[in-house]
Amino acid sequence: MTAVAWIPDLITALAGSLVGFSLGLIGGGGSILAVPLLIYVVGIRDAHIAIGTSALAVAANAFINLASHWRAGTVKWPCAITFGLTGMAGAAIGSSFGKLMDGEKLLFLFAIVMIGVAITMLRTRGGHGDPDVHLTPRIAVRLAGLGLLAGLLSGFFGIGGGFLIVPGIMLGSGMTILNAIGSSLFSVGTFGLTTAANYALASFVDWKIAMEFIAGGALGGFVGMKAALRLAAKKQTLSYIFAGVILAVALYMLAMTGAQLLD
């Protein structure tokens, strides 16, 4: 009886480890993976609670993974902070509107955005860039604008936004994808925490499940970060993995949410 009682907690932790692995490896996929896992595997029925809970869990896991990438020297802090702080304002605004919209429609619309991002990543040499990039006034302006936009979309859709943040940081600064992945985790954490706080005000967070997700994600994130470092020499491969995961999850979400919207 005791063993059976632990099964749901174990499943939640394992689901969290998958999310953490995604964040550590590609800097994204957190909430987009977390929300369907919370709904279809863990069993949360309310899409808004799944979104709020995942935002909190992904934010915590992003900060844990950020520490690992920081130690590995992949974080460009001036760029990361510029992008992240401007995006927080966008996340606060976006999440306020996102709470008012049907959860399934939010996921369906974001899946379409994800497909566009995946195609862009596949068509460009996203793995290359300047490993010694430094923040300049021109780069700061670009990062601030892109950060605000990414924050708005992240908050509105209730996701960490790594799929938007990594390309956004690369576009704004010209850094490599490995540096963008490490640097993006600051924004994923700040955006997610801002969104989670907004959802928590409406009681859209399951705190117990969030803690279990965070515990599992810490281990998965460490493994993902190690894998990202191993793939650093194969930058184009990492870009293809990034785009492939985006596309696969987007198609899955379109199928699942589309079917539910038609019911």
DSSP 198-239: HHHTTT---HHHHHHHHHHHHHHHHHHHHHHHHTTT-HHHHH
Segments forming the whole domain that contains residue 87: 2-262
Q: What is the pLDDT of residue 133?
A: 87
Can you say how many angstroms the Cα of residue 200 is from the centroid of all Cα atoms in its chain?
19
In this predicted structure, the answer to whether residue 210 has a pLDDT above a threshold of 90 is: yes
The model carries a pTM of 0.78
Domains in the chain, number: 1
Q: How confident is the model at residue 203 (pLDDT cuts 50, 70, 90)?
A: very high
Average pLDDT over residues 149-165: 81
Exposure string of 97-117, with b = 16+ CB inside 10 Å and e = fewer, is: ebbeeebbebbbebbebbbeb
Q: What is the DSSP letter of 12?
A: H
Q: What is the pLDDT of residue 84?
A: 94
Report how far apart, in Å, the C-alpha atoms of 72 and of each of 181, 182, 229 are: 12, 9, 8
> Which one has a higher pLDDT value, 192 or 238?
192
In this predicted structure, the answer to whether residue 45 has a pLDDT above a threshold of 80 is: yes
